[in-house]
Amino acid sequence: MLYLRCLILALFCTLLSCGEKYSEELISTSPDKTAIIKVRGYKNSPLSAWITTLSVQYLAYHDSIKFEVYASEISKETVNFLWNDGECVVSFQQNDSKLNVNVTAKGGRLIIYKPDQNQLK
């Protein structure tokens, strides 16, 4: 009886942990090497959105945000960094749309323009 309970508990724990998934960490550095943007996602089940963290290090400044991304994966194929004169548009290709996060890291200022949808604190 104890063996059966342990087996059921082990199977239950295995099923719960199967859905957890972490994306690779994506890193982009500004052309002048003063800013670094890091993106990483986590999801707790195959059907949930990616809880995505975007962090920026610029000179002595550091800031980060969390938001949801509805995509099959967070990877080099679905995330794009477009730098232009201290500003970067980080684009996430979602299942049915594109989500952009704008970062300004110049002139001693660091600003992350948060996406309009599903921001997490």
pLDDT of 15 > 90? The answer is: no
Mean pLDDT (whole number) for 60-81? 96
pLDDT of 55 > 50? The answer is: yes
pLDDT of 109 > 60? The answer is: yes
Mean pLDDT (whole number) for 108-112? 93
State the pLDDT confidence band at 43, using cuts at 50, 70 and 90: very high
State the pLDDT confidence band at 65, using cuts at 50, 70 and 90: very high
Structure-derived torsion over alpha carbons of residues 59, 64, 70, 73, reported in degrees to the nearest 10: 50
Domain range annotation of the chain: 26-120
- Range name among 5-9, 67-71, 88-92 with the lowest pLDDT average: 5-9
Rounded to whole angstroms, the Cα distance separating 65 from 113 reads: 10
pTM: 0.80
Question: What pLDDT does 49 receive?
Answer: 95
Mean pLDDT (whole number) for 21-43? 97
Rounded to whole angstroms, the Cα distance separating 88 from 100 reads: 10
